[in-house]
């Protein structure tokens, strides 16, 4: 399955080239339906939610990966991520090595890296799993979020902040890091809770991934839940509670030689904006 940024010409061009290359190699290809009318192909366009394939190739940045991971049917097929973004921390391959990487997949010369996801619910409603993070806010920049945080049903603290970020190990390198949170080592199976501009003395907290975390919004009488920057849920009910647990689903990445710390050094810690 091919998933690409529809607003970037180089990504669309590479999608068409990959489509032709895979077809010549005898691989059946389907393409995300949002690219219909944008890329030229004889292969079928399929919604992400129906893309049941052996593997997915994303052509874009981290946002393209997150969009795919939140919509793909479960269990998710492994993802080979081609970097056409600015940082592309989660991606594996630069565009010039695309076809070499595909050959590696066809030969079975790769490894699978599994990333923990979070199961999220708002009240009694189940929301999509999060690969990166869940952000809870009022949805209005001028209003502060008053919330009570519990672990396994036990109150931990009450806070006042612009919002709260709950990140996975994968998500610890994203919004949470920008808000002052720590980077979690890849072998640490945990969630990190980071406040956004907290008025109370409250720094990041790290919880075991088998914890059940609940967030009860005390004020105002509304909240916005944002999952992986793609899914938004505005909630205005009597009980404003978000529950986060470890999901039974995982996102699998196709990896070759790069390690977590290779990506951290080369793409995040020392790479400037371009």
CA–CA dist 117, 130 (Å, integer): 5
Distances (CA, A) of 77 to 155, 164, 250, 254: 38, 30, 10, 10
**Which is nearest to 220 in space by CA: 135, 165, 142?**
142
Q: Is 224 in contact with 234 (CB distance < 8 Å)? A: yes
How does strand 45-46 pair with strand 31-32? parallel
Output the CA torsion sign for 197, 200, 204, 206.
Answer: negative
Distances (CA, A) of 97 to 14, 20, 206, 231: 12, 16, 37, 32
228 is catalytic: no
Helix (H), strand (E) counts: the chain? 5, 17
List of residues 6+ apart from 263 with CB closer than 8 A: 89, 90
CA–CA dist 201, 219 (Å, integer): 19
User: From the candidates 19, 62, 129, 133, which is the catalytic residue?
Assistant: 62
Could you give the residue numbers annotated as active site?
A: 62
């Amino acid at each position: 399955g091919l998933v690409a940024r529809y607003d970037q010409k180089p990504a669309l061009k590479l999608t068409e080239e990959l489509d032709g290359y895979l077809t010549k190699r005898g691989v059946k290809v389907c393409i995300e339906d949002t690219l219909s009318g944008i890329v030229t192909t004889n292969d079928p366009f399929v919604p992400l939610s129906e893309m049941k394939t052996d593997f997915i190739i994303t052509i874009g940045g981290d946002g393209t990966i997150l969009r795919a991971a939140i919509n793909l049917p479960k269990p998710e097929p492994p993802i080979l991520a081609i970097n056409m973004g600015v940082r592309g921390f989660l991606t594996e391959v630069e565009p010039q090595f695309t076809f070499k990487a595909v050959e590696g997949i066809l030969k079975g010369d790769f490894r699978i890296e599994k990333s923990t996801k979070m199961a999220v619910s708002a009240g009694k409603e189940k929301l999509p799993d999060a690969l990166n993070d869940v952000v809870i806010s009022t949805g209005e920049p001028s209003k502060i979020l008053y919330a009570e945080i519990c672990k396994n049903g036990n109150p931990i603290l009450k806070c006042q902040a612009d919002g709260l970020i709950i990140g996975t190990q994968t998500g610890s390198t994203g919004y949470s890091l920008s808000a002052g949170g720590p980077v979690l080592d890849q072998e640490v199976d945990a969630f990190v809770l980071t406040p956004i501009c907290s008025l109370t003395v409250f720094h990041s907290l790290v919880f075991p991934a088998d914890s059940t975390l609940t967030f009860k919004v005390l004020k105002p009488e509304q909240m916005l839940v944002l999952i992986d920057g793609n899914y938004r849920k505005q909630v205005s009910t009597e009980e404003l509670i978000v529950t986060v647990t470890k999901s039974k689903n995982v996102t699998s990445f196709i990896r070759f030689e790069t390690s977590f710390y290779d990506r951290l050094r080369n793409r995040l810690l020392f790479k400037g904006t371009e």
